[in-house]
Amino acid sequence: MSESLKAKVTELFNEPGCDKNVAKGEKERKKGCSKPLTPGAAAGGCAFDGAKIALQPIVDVVHLVHGPLACEGNGWDNRHAASSGPTLYRLGVTTDITEMDIVMGSGEKRLYKAIREVIARYAPPAVFVYSTCVPALIGDDVEAVCRHATDKLGTPCIPVNAPGFVGSKNLGNKLAGEALLDHVIGTMEPEVSTPTDINILGEYNLSGELWQIRPLLDRLGIRLHACITGDARYREVASAHRARVNMMVCSTALINVARKMEDRWGIPYFEGSFYGIDDTSTALRAIAQLLVKQGAPADLLDRTEELIASEEARAWQRLAPYRDRLAGKRVLLYTGGVKSWSIVSALQEMGMVVVGTSVRKSTDNDKKKISDLMGGDAHMVDNIPPREMYAQLRRGDADILLSGGRTQFVALKAKVPWLDINQERHHAFAGYDGMVTLVRELDRSLSNPMWQEVRNPAPWEVGDIDAFLDDAPLLVPIS
Ligand code: SF4
């Protein structure tokens, strides 16, 4: 690992804005946060993957991966981050270095040529250049190549120094944030700036969730200056230092960006969530209060309350038909981070019972919020091994599993309904409208008649196998 990268990683492990880190002793802090990965297990992404996830939603730039082809194949657009315009971010671009480049030491040259080619072909406002394990191990100086290319070609080339081996996906998110702080944020001035400009950090517009929030802000006259990074344009991120308030929706991912923006440009930040009715209202209130403190007109507070009252009433009206159907249903929630508590409160709003929630990647603050919401019954788990989860679901401990795609097969094998709430989801669950979508999808999963069908014994398990075969459709040989 290069000295500069080592220093960056150490700095992140000492992040004062991270409460987990602050609670540690000096010795423990030095060890860092990353857990050793289990060989052979689907480890949940490397640091490069984390950096790519965090930055790829900047939609008008080229994301160029310096490494073997497979790294880009691994990390390319696996999250449905939506764009309202440019599609350049979805282009898979890699230097595809091979053994020959390693032997001949031609990686840097190849990288420069690739940068020159993408700029000539697409004229992007910037090129994000990701380092991966192989070039980092052979000592390619990605930062120097980017500096040279920026000077020579006149387009900002942003080095993202997060090769996979340095640690987890979460560390990669933070290293991506460092790349933004070092090379992007503060490098441009906005064309317009208003007293109600805000940034949202850690929102990636998955399945278009940002578009469920933006209209609410528009109605309040709050201008979303930059979403870092969902549906973002380079210029917005580069001038994000002129916003008045930062909201952080995923604390573990970009806390370093929020904290350093406060230090450098005096932008206050708070952590909030747009999942669930209560949390959406709380977040809108917090934005309004902070903006007023920062000099926005005071009537924003009243207008926010009016909007909250009308949106809440509308949402409850739309949810009413589902409440009786869902009340009392037991949910096993297997997610992490901010969703571990924000989804809990969303489900409780519908009278559902959360029988367990995982707190992987959750901060101490997240865990405290879960305890506050679930009281003494809070059943928090870190990891549930698939075998144990299967046993729980087979026993009937929960009526539905809410998780990411990787655990779906456990639920399906146990013949229990499942709903995807992680990054690969196809539905947008944010804001008041998102809550209605979430509840509708929960109801659809729970009441799907398929579950009864698959739980019934197969015909050959209960009856006469010959009679079953007699009734079965004949196979017609293909001539
Ligand atoms: S661990 Fe290294 S080689 Fe594997 S995908 Fe990540 S960056 Fe590429």
Say how many C-beta atoms besides its own lie within 10 A of residue 294's C-beta. Answer: 17
Say how many C-beta atoms besides its own lie within 10 A of residue 456's C-beta. Answer: 11
Q: With the C-alpha atoms ordered 45, 51, 57, 63, is the resulting torsion angle positive or negative?
A: negative
pLDDT for res 24? 61
For residue 247, give the nearest of 278, 290, 281, 277 by alpha carbon: 290
Q: What single DSSP character describes residue 46?
A: B
- Asked if 263 contacts 298 with a C-beta cutoff of 8 angstroms, the reply is no
Q: How far is the CA of 131 from the centre of ligand 1 (A)?
A: 10
Which stretches of the chain drop beneath a pLDDT of 70? Answer: 17-44, 250-252, 336-340, 360-363, 366, 376-378, 473-479
d(CA 34, CA 204): 23
pLDDT for res 17? 67
pLDDT tens for 93-114 read 999 999 999 999 899 999 999 9
Kindly state if the Cβ of 67 falls inside 6 Å of ligand 1.
yes
Token pair listed for 333? 């929630």
Domain boundaries, the chain: 3-35+43-183, 197-315, 327-423
Kindly state if the Cβ of 57 falls inside 6 Å of ligand 1.
no
Q: How far is the CA of 71 from the centre of ligand 1 (A)?
A: 5
Determine the residue of 71, 94, 138 to mutate for testing ligand 1's pocket, defined as the one with the most ligand atoms within 8 A of the Cβ atom: 71
Query: What CATH code is assigned to 3-35+43-183?
Result: 3.40.50.1980
Q: Do domains 197-315 and 327-423 have the same CATH topology?
A: yes
pTM of the model: 0.86
Q: Which fold has domain 197-315?
A: Rossmann fold (3.40.50)
Kindly state if the Cβ of 163 falls inside 6 Å of ligand 1.
yes
pLDDT tens for 60-81 read 999 999 999 999 987 777 778 9
pLDDT for res 40? 47
Instruction: Give the C-alpha distances (Å, rounded to integers) separating 166 from 22, 131, 351.
Output: 22, 11, 43
pLDDT for res 459? 76
Q: Which CATH class is domain 327-423?
A: alpha beta
DSSP 160-204: E---GGG-BHHHHHHHHHHHHHHHTTTSS--S---TTEEEEEEE-
Where do the DSSP E strands lie in 44-124? 62-66, 93-94
